[in-house]
Homo-oligomer: A and B are copies of this chain.
């Protein structure tokens, strides 16, 4: 099935431009655990590339060093499933770089899917999302960190998905849990 050809699903985790708790635009810090967990989740759902987006050189180096540690030498022998997951990670400066990279590898501009709490003209249900995601052509699912992606980024999305609401009013899932649930809703075969 999906193994036969390169998957056309990609994921980006964006650390700029995002809001902080006061509503200011900031660069959020990379959480190394996000890199490990989300790469495993991406690998499970056959995502082609997981882009970690940060303009900060020092943070880019941090992610690069994590990948190096687990891809080579002791880390790779100790934990081969982590090594396998990290294969799909790419660190980039800006979200636009993910779009360029996908265009280069797939020959077309990806359709962008972004979850957001508010209603936008491009908002669709997960049921519709499952139909959209299997259509031909590359896709890029974009997730924000901190207190959410800058509004302009969402306005430019091709598709906006509802946020994950559980059964209570509590609405503070870790981004890694939200990504797991959203990939399963869009791509999973329960």
Residues of A within 8 A of B (CB): 1-3, 7, 33, 36-37, 40-41, 43-46, 81, 84-85, 125-127, 162, 164-174, 176-178, 180-181, 183-185, 187-190
Contacts and interface: CB of A to CB of B under 8 A. Distances in A.
A66 to B, nearest CB: 15
How many copies of the polypeptide does the oligomer hold?
Answer: 2
Contact of A40 (B37, B84, B172): B172
Contact of A3 (B33, B162, B168, B177): B168
A43 B170 contact: yes
8 contacts: A2-B167, A3-B169, A37-B177, A44-B167, A166-B187, A176-B177, A181-B184, A181-B188
Contact of A180 (B36, B84, B85, B180): B180
